[in-house]
Amino acid sequence: MGRAIRVGLLVAAGVVTVGALGGGFYAQAPAPAAPSGPWLAVTPVNDAPNPYNTIEGSAKLPEGRTWGSTSAVDIDKDGKSVWVAERCQVNTCWDAAKGEMSPLNTVFKFDATGKMVASFGQGMFVFPHGIHVDRDGNIWVADGNGNLPARRPGQPADAPMPPMPAKVVGNQVVKFSPEGKVLLTLGKAGGNPPGADAADPASFYQPNDVITYPNGDILVAEGHGGANSRLIKFDKTGKFLMQYGKKGTGLEGEFDQPHSLAFDAKGRLFVADRSNNRIQILDAATLKTLDTWYQFSRLSGIFIDKNDMIYGADSESGSVNPAHGKWLRGIRIGSAKDGKVIAFIPDPSNTDATARGTLAAEGVAADKDGVIYGAEVGPRKLQRYVKK
Protein backbone atom coordinates (compact mmCIF):
# COMPACT_ATOMS: atom_id res chain seq x y z
CA MET A 1 0.00 0.00 0.00
CA GLY A 2 1.14 3.53 -0.61
CA ARG A 3 2.44 5.50 2.32
CA ALA A 4 0.10 8.16 3.65
CA ILE A 5 1.49 11.66 3.28
CA ARG A 6 0.00 14.69 4.92
CA VAL A 7 0.92 17.95 3.25
CA GLY A 8 0.22 21.29 4.85
CA LEU A 9 0.84 24.68 3.29
CA LEU A 10 1.13 27.85 5.30
CA VAL A 11 1.46 31.02 3.27
CA ALA A 12 1.74 33.83 5.74
CA ALA A 13 4.46 36.28 6.75
CA GLY A 14 6.76 34.69 4.22
CA VAL A 15 6.43 31.22 5.73
CA VAL A 16 5.74 28.14 3.66
CA THR A 17 6.20 24.67 5.08
CA VAL A 18 5.40 21.20 3.85
CA GLY A 19 5.55 18.32 6.30
CA ALA A 20 5.80 14.67 5.24
CA LEU A 21 4.52 12.21 7.81
CA GLY A 22 4.18 8.43 7.63
CA GLY A 23 5.69 4.93 7.11
CA GLY A 24 30.82 15.65 -19.54
CA PHE A 25 30.45 19.23 -18.10
CA TYR A 26 27.50 20.76 -16.45
CA ALA A 27 24.41 20.86 -18.60
CA GLN A 28 21.27 21.97 -16.89
CA ALA A 29 18.41 19.50 -16.99
CA PRO A 30 15.79 20.55 -19.57
CA ALA A 31 12.80 22.35 -18.14
CA PRO A 32 9.66 20.19 -18.12
CA ALA A 33 7.03 21.02 -20.70
CA ALA A 34 4.39 21.41 -18.01
CA PRO A 35 5.83 22.53 -14.66
CA SER A 36 4.40 20.72 -11.65
CA GLY A 37 5.01 20.49 -7.95
CA PRO A 38 3.92 22.04 -4.66
CA TRP A 39 6.05 25.13 -5.33
CA LEU A 40 3.49 26.25 -7.93
CA ALA A 41 1.00 26.92 -5.11
CA VAL A 42 3.45 29.13 -3.22
CA THR A 43 3.33 32.91 -3.47
CA PRO A 44 6.81 34.20 -4.46
CA VAL A 45 8.67 35.85 -1.59
CA ASN A 46 10.21 38.88 -3.31
CA ASP A 47 9.18 41.84 -1.15
CA ALA A 48 11.32 41.47 1.97
CA PRO A 49 13.48 44.56 2.63
CA ASN A 50 17.12 44.78 1.57
CA PRO A 51 19.15 46.18 4.48
CA TYR A 52 22.51 45.62 2.75
CA ASN A 53 24.91 47.59 0.57
CA THR A 54 26.75 45.73 -2.20
CA ILE A 55 30.55 46.06 -2.14
CA GLU A 56 32.28 45.00 -5.36
CA GLY A 57 35.93 44.06 -5.71
CA SER A 58 36.68 43.67 -2.01
CA ALA A 59 38.72 40.47 -2.39
CA LYS A 60 42.01 41.16 -4.17
CA LEU A 61 43.58 38.44 -6.31
CA PRO A 62 47.30 38.56 -7.19
CA GLU A 63 48.30 41.18 -9.75
CA GLY A 64 47.37 40.05 -13.26
CA ARG A 65 44.91 37.43 -12.02
CA THR A 66 41.23 37.88 -12.79
CA TRP A 67 38.23 36.14 -11.28
CA GLY A 68 36.78 33.10 -12.96
CA SER A 69 33.46 31.51 -12.11
CA THR A 70 33.02 30.62 -8.47
CA SER A 71 30.25 28.90 -6.53
CA ALA A 72 32.39 27.95 -3.52
CA VAL A 73 32.70 30.25 -0.50
CA ASP A 74 32.93 29.62 3.25
CA ILE A 75 34.15 31.36 6.40
CA ASP A 76 37.39 30.49 8.15
CA LYS A 77 37.51 29.14 11.70
CA ASP A 78 38.46 32.66 12.86
CA GLY A 79 34.95 33.82 11.88
CA LYS A 80 36.18 36.65 9.64
CA SER A 81 38.49 35.37 6.92
CA VAL A 82 36.98 33.95 3.71
CA TRP A 83 37.86 30.86 1.68
CA VAL A 84 36.95 30.70 -2.01
CA ALA A 85 37.52 28.09 -4.72
CA GLU A 86 37.61 29.54 -8.23
CA ARG A 87 37.74 28.09 -11.76
CA CYS A 88 41.04 29.36 -13.18
CA GLN A 89 39.84 32.71 -14.60
CA VAL A 90 37.20 30.99 -16.75
CA ASN A 91 34.62 28.28 -15.90
CA THR A 92 36.89 25.23 -15.88
CA CYS A 93 40.51 24.47 -15.08
CA TRP A 94 40.69 21.82 -17.81
CA ASP A 95 41.43 23.00 -21.36
CA ALA A 96 39.87 20.17 -23.38
CA ALA A 97 41.10 21.56 -26.70
CA LYS A 98 44.72 21.48 -25.55
CA GLY A 99 44.37 18.53 -23.20
CA GLU A 100 45.97 20.54 -20.40
CA MET A 101 45.22 21.54 -16.82
CA SER A 102 45.53 25.19 -15.92
CA PRO A 103 48.75 26.13 -14.06
CA LEU A 104 46.78 28.45 -11.73
CA ASN A 105 45.92 27.99 -8.07
CA THR A 106 42.23 27.53 -7.38
CA VAL A 107 41.77 27.82 -3.59
CA PHE A 108 42.21 31.21 -1.89
CA LYS A 109 41.99 32.65 1.61
CA PHE A 110 41.29 36.35 2.12
CA ASP A 111 41.45 38.21 5.41
CA ALA A 112 38.67 40.55 6.53
CA THR A 113 40.23 43.44 4.57
CA GLY A 114 40.18 41.44 1.31
CA LYS A 115 43.91 40.75 1.26
CA MET A 116 44.84 37.32 -0.09
CA VAL A 117 46.81 35.46 2.58
CA ALA A 118 46.95 31.91 1.18
CA SER A 119 46.46 30.04 -2.09
CA PHE A 120 46.94 26.48 -3.35
CA GLY A 121 45.30 23.77 -5.47
CA GLN A 122 47.27 24.10 -8.71
CA GLY A 123 46.39 21.31 -11.16
CA MET A 124 44.14 19.54 -8.65
CA PHE A 125 40.62 20.54 -9.71
CA VAL A 126 38.67 20.65 -12.95
CA PHE A 127 35.53 22.36 -11.69
CA PRO A 128 35.77 23.41 -8.03
CA HIS A 129 32.16 23.59 -6.97
CA GLY A 130 31.65 23.40 -3.18
CA ILE A 131 33.85 24.34 -0.22
CA HIS A 132 33.54 23.64 3.50
CA VAL A 133 35.61 24.74 6.50
CA ASP A 134 35.35 22.19 9.30
CA ARG A 135 35.49 22.75 13.08
CA ASP A 136 39.28 22.28 13.10
CA GLY A 137 39.82 24.83 10.34
CA ASN A 138 40.53 22.31 7.59
CA ILE A 139 39.34 23.08 4.06
CA TRP A 140 37.26 20.66 1.98
CA VAL A 141 36.70 21.16 -1.76
CA ALA A 142 34.25 19.23 -3.96
CA ASP A 143 35.35 19.03 -7.60
CA GLY A 144 32.19 18.89 -9.71
CA ASN A 145 33.61 17.40 -12.89
CA GLY A 146 36.52 15.46 -14.37
CA ASN A 147 38.82 15.41 -17.36
CA LEU A 148 38.17 11.91 -18.67
CA PRO A 149 37.64 11.91 -22.45
CA ALA A 150 34.11 12.64 -23.66
CA ARG A 151 32.56 13.17 -27.07
CA ARG A 152 31.31 16.64 -27.86
CA PRO A 153 27.55 17.21 -27.75
CA GLY A 154 25.96 16.09 -31.01
CA GLN A 155 28.74 13.72 -32.02
CA PRO A 156 27.66 10.20 -33.05
CA ALA A 157 28.10 7.43 -30.53
CA ASP A 158 30.83 5.81 -32.63
CA ALA A 159 32.88 9.00 -33.04
CA PRO A 160 36.50 8.59 -31.91
CA MET A 161 37.12 9.55 -28.30
CA PRO A 162 39.68 12.23 -27.45
CA PRO A 163 42.95 10.90 -26.04
CA MET A 164 43.34 10.17 -22.35
CA PRO A 165 44.86 13.00 -20.32
CA ALA A 166 48.35 12.60 -18.94
CA LYS A 167 46.82 12.76 -15.46
CA VAL A 168 43.20 11.96 -14.62
CA VAL A 169 41.69 14.60 -12.34
CA GLY A 170 38.27 15.47 -10.98
CA ASN A 171 34.99 14.23 -9.46
CA GLN A 172 36.63 13.98 -6.05
CA VAL A 173 36.46 15.65 -2.63
CA VAL A 174 39.76 16.78 -1.12
CA LYS A 175 40.51 17.78 2.47
CA PHE A 176 43.35 20.27 3.04
CA SER A 177 45.07 21.69 6.07
CA PRO A 178 44.87 25.51 6.23
CA GLU A 179 48.38 25.52 4.76
CA GLY A 180 47.28 23.51 1.72
CA LYS A 181 48.56 20.05 2.67
CA VAL A 182 46.33 17.25 1.36
CA LEU A 183 44.98 15.32 4.35
CA LEU A 184 42.34 13.10 2.72
CA THR A 185 40.86 12.39 -0.70
CA LEU A 186 37.42 10.87 -1.26
CA GLY A 187 36.51 9.06 -4.48
CA LYS A 188 38.63 7.86 -7.35
CA ALA A 189 40.19 10.30 -9.80
CA GLY A 190 37.86 10.87 -12.75
CA GLY A 191 34.90 9.51 -10.80
CA ASN A 192 32.03 7.26 -11.81
CA PRO A 193 30.50 7.18 -15.28
CA PRO A 194 27.21 9.08 -15.53
CA GLY A 195 24.08 7.17 -14.61
CA ALA A 196 21.44 6.68 -11.96
CA ASP A 197 23.36 3.90 -10.20
CA ALA A 198 26.87 4.58 -8.95
CA ALA A 199 29.34 2.03 -10.32
CA ASP A 200 31.38 2.61 -7.16
CA PRO A 201 29.19 3.93 -4.31
CA ALA A 202 32.27 5.48 -2.66
CA SER A 203 33.14 7.52 -5.76
CA PHE A 204 31.29 10.37 -7.44
CA TYR A 205 29.87 11.82 -10.60
CA GLN A 206 29.47 15.58 -10.28
CA PRO A 207 29.67 16.07 -6.50
CA ASN A 208 28.24 19.44 -5.50
CA ASP A 209 29.06 20.01 -1.85
CA VAL A 210 30.56 18.50 1.30
CA ILE A 211 29.95 19.01 5.02
CA THR A 212 31.24 17.38 8.21
CA TYR A 213 29.35 16.20 11.29
CA PRO A 214 30.41 17.08 14.86
CA ASN A 215 31.94 13.59 15.22
CA GLY A 216 33.96 14.01 12.02
CA ASP A 217 31.74 11.98 9.69
CA ILE A 218 31.55 13.39 6.17
CA LEU A 219 28.55 13.92 3.90
CA VAL A 220 28.76 14.61 0.16
CA ALA A 221 25.87 15.77 -2.04
CA GLU A 222 25.97 14.55 -5.64
CA GLY A 223 24.01 15.12 -8.85
CA HIS A 224 23.90 18.10 -11.18
CA GLY A 225 21.19 17.56 -13.76
CA GLY A 226 21.97 13.98 -14.76
CA ALA A 227 20.26 10.78 -13.63
CA ASN A 228 22.01 10.70 -10.25
CA SER A 229 20.97 12.53 -7.07
CA ARG A 230 22.20 11.13 -3.76
CA LEU A 231 23.86 11.81 -0.42
CA ILE A 232 26.99 9.79 0.44
CA LYS A 233 28.28 9.39 3.98
CA PHE A 234 31.81 8.49 5.14
CA ASP A 235 33.42 8.23 8.54
CA LYS A 236 36.18 10.66 9.50
CA THR A 237 38.85 8.38 8.02
CA GLY A 238 37.12 8.31 4.63
CA LYS A 239 35.54 4.87 5.00
CA PHE A 240 32.30 4.62 3.03
CA LEU A 241 29.28 4.20 5.32
CA MET A 242 26.13 4.60 3.24
CA GLN A 243 24.41 6.26 0.31
CA TYR A 244 20.90 7.65 0.37
CA GLY A 245 18.40 8.97 -2.12
CA LYS A 246 17.68 9.00 -5.81
CA LYS A 247 16.52 11.47 -8.42
CA GLY A 248 12.87 12.41 -8.09
CA THR A 249 10.32 14.83 -6.72
CA GLY A 250 9.04 12.84 -3.74
CA LEU A 251 9.20 14.22 -0.23
CA GLU A 252 11.10 11.22 1.16
CA GLY A 253 14.50 10.17 -0.18
CA GLU A 254 14.28 11.95 -3.52
CA PHE A 255 16.26 14.93 -4.76
CA ASP A 256 16.95 16.72 -8.02
CA GLN A 257 20.32 18.43 -7.78
CA PRO A 258 21.08 18.41 -4.04
CA HIS A 259 23.29 21.43 -4.52
CA SER A 260 24.34 22.66 -1.07
CA LEU A 261 24.35 21.48 2.57
CA ALA A 262 24.11 23.10 6.01
CA PHE A 263 23.39 22.14 9.64
CA ASP A 264 21.28 24.24 11.99
CA ALA A 265 21.72 24.59 15.76
CA LYS A 266 19.46 21.59 16.39
CA GLY A 267 21.68 19.41 14.20
CA ARG A 268 19.13 19.16 11.41
CA LEU A 269 20.52 18.84 7.88
CA PHE A 270 19.32 21.40 5.34
CA VAL A 271 19.63 20.37 1.68
CA ALA A 272 19.26 22.92 -1.11
CA ASP A 273 17.28 20.65 -3.47
CA ARG A 274 17.66 23.01 -6.40
CA SER A 275 15.68 21.59 -9.29
CA ASN A 276 12.81 20.78 -6.93
CA ASN A 277 12.77 24.47 -5.89
CA ARG A 278 12.89 23.61 -2.19
CA ILE A 279 14.86 23.04 0.97
CA GLN A 280 14.67 19.51 2.34
CA ILE A 281 15.20 19.41 6.12
CA LEU A 282 16.47 16.00 7.17
CA ASP A 283 17.29 14.10 10.33
CA ALA A 284 21.09 14.18 10.21
CA ALA A 285 21.47 10.57 11.38
CA THR A 286 18.80 8.77 9.36
CA LEU A 287 18.50 11.32 6.52
CA LYS A 288 14.72 10.98 6.76
CA THR A 289 12.66 14.03 5.86
CA LEU A 290 11.49 16.23 8.72
CA ASP A 291 10.14 19.16 6.74
CA THR A 292 10.18 20.84 3.34
CA TRP A 293 10.33 24.60 2.70
CA TYR A 294 9.73 26.51 -0.51
CA GLN A 295 9.85 30.13 0.68
CA PHE A 296 13.60 30.52 0.14
CA SER A 297 13.14 29.90 -3.61
CA ARG A 298 15.30 27.82 -5.97
CA LEU A 299 18.48 27.54 -3.93
CA SER A 300 21.94 26.91 -5.32
CA GLY A 301 23.65 27.77 -2.03
CA ILE A 302 22.67 27.61 1.63
CA PHE A 303 24.48 28.77 4.77
CA ILE A 304 23.31 28.78 8.41
CA ASP A 305 25.16 30.91 10.96
CA LYS A 306 25.63 30.49 14.72
CA ASN A 307 22.41 32.44 15.34
CA ASP A 308 20.38 30.04 13.17
CA MET A 309 19.95 32.57 10.40
CA ILE A 310 19.63 31.04 6.93
CA TYR A 311 21.23 32.65 3.89
CA GLY A 312 19.86 31.15 0.67
CA ALA A 313 21.30 31.97 -2.76
CA ASP A 314 19.05 31.70 -5.83
CA SER A 315 21.14 32.02 -9.00
CA GLU A 316 18.74 30.47 -11.52
CA SER A 317 15.11 31.55 -11.19
CA GLY A 318 14.00 32.91 -14.54
CA SER A 319 17.46 32.84 -16.12
CA VAL A 320 18.03 29.06 -16.12
CA ASN A 321 14.56 27.95 -15.04
CA PRO A 322 11.95 30.21 -16.70
CA ALA A 323 9.11 28.32 -15.02
CA HIS A 324 10.32 29.71 -11.69
CA GLY A 325 10.61 33.21 -13.13
CA LYS A 326 8.10 34.86 -10.80
CA TRP A 327 10.68 34.41 -8.05
CA LEU A 328 13.48 36.98 -8.23
CA ARG A 329 17.09 35.83 -8.11
CA GLY A 330 19.16 36.87 -5.12
CA ILE A 331 19.91 36.03 -1.49
CA ARG A 332 17.01 35.45 0.94
CA ILE A 333 17.74 35.69 4.64
CA GLY A 334 15.57 34.23 7.37
CA SER A 335 15.28 32.00 10.40
CA ALA A 336 16.03 28.29 10.60
CA LYS A 337 13.76 28.19 13.63
CA ASP A 338 10.48 29.29 12.03
CA GLY A 339 11.34 29.64 8.31
CA LYS A 340 10.34 33.28 8.08
CA VAL A 341 12.13 35.28 5.37
CA ILE A 342 13.08 38.69 6.77
CA ALA A 343 15.43 40.15 4.12
CA PHE A 344 16.15 39.83 0.42
CA ILE A 345 19.20 41.01 -1.56
CA PRO A 346 18.18 41.08 -5.25
CA ASP A 347 20.62 40.07 -7.97
CA PRO A 348 22.94 43.10 -8.03
CA SER A 349 24.23 42.59 -11.57
CA ASN A 350 21.35 41.44 -13.77
CA THR A 351 17.88 42.95 -13.41
CA ASP A 352 16.94 42.17 -17.03
CA ALA A 353 14.07 39.68 -16.95
CA THR A 354 15.27 38.20 -20.25
CA ALA A 355 18.81 37.49 -18.98
CA ARG A 356 19.88 33.87 -19.26
CA GLY A 357 22.48 31.73 -17.50
CA THR A 358 23.61 31.22 -13.93
CA LEU A 359 23.45 34.71 -12.44
CA ALA A 360 23.65 36.28 -8.95
CA ALA A 361 25.24 34.36 -6.08
CA GLU A 362 25.41 30.58 -6.39
CA GLY A 363 27.42 30.14 -3.20
CA VAL A 364 26.83 32.12 -0.02
CA ALA A 365 28.39 32.53 3.43
CA ALA A 366 28.22 35.03 6.30
CA ASP A 367 30.93 35.92 8.81
CA LYS A 368 30.48 36.26 12.58
CA ASP A 369 29.50 39.93 12.22
CA GLY A 370 26.85 39.25 9.58
CA VAL A 371 28.86 40.35 6.55
CA ILE A 372 27.62 38.26 3.62
CA TYR A 373 29.68 36.91 0.71
CA GLY A 374 28.14 35.78 -2.58
CA ALA A 375 30.11 33.64 -5.06
CA GLU A 376 28.91 34.22 -8.63
CA VAL A 377 29.32 31.87 -11.59
CA GLY A 378 28.10 33.90 -14.57
CA PRO A 379 29.32 37.36 -13.51
CA ARG A 380 32.58 35.82 -12.16
CA LYS A 381 32.64 37.81 -8.95
CA LEU A 382 32.84 37.52 -5.20
CA GLN A 383 30.35 40.06 -3.87
CA ARG A 384 30.41 41.43 -0.33
CA TYR A 385 27.26 42.66 1.40
CA VAL A 386 27.35 44.84 4.53
CA LYS A 387 24.53 46.26 6.63
CA LYS A 388 23.43 49.77 5.67
Calpha distance 207→165 (Å, rounded)? 21
The amino acid at 214: P
> pTM to 2 decimals?
0.91
Residue 324, classed as helix, strand or coil, is helix
Residue 289, classed as helix, strand or coil, is strand
- The DSSP annotation for 173-184 comes to EEEE-TTS-EEE
Residues sharing a CB contact under 8 Å with residue 364, sequence separation 6 or more, in sequence order: 73, 301, 302, 303, 311, 312, 313, 331, 372, 373, 374, 375
Is pLDDT of 19 > 60? no
Kindly state the DSSP code that residue 89 receives in the 8-state scheme. Answer: T
CB-count burial class (<10 Å; 0-12, 13-18, 19+) for 231: buried
Residue 170, classed as helix, strand or coil, is strand
Q: What is the CATH number of domain 17-154+161-387?
A: 2.120.10.30
Helix %, strand %, coil % of the chain (to 5): 5, 35, 60
pLDDT in tens, 50-104: 999 999 999 999 999 999 999 999 999 999 999 999 999 999 999 998 999 999 9
The reported pLDDT for the residue numbered 33 is: 59
The reported pLDDT for the residue numbered 353 is: 72
Q: What is the percent of the chain where pLDDT is above 90? A: 83
Calpha distance 107→126 (Å, rounded)? 12
pLDDT in tens, 256-299: 999 999 999 999 999 999 999 999 999 999 999 999 999 999 99
Is pLDDT of 26 > 50? no
Rounded alpha-carbon distances, angstroms, from residue 343 to 246, 259, 295, 338, 387: 33, 22, 12, 14, 11
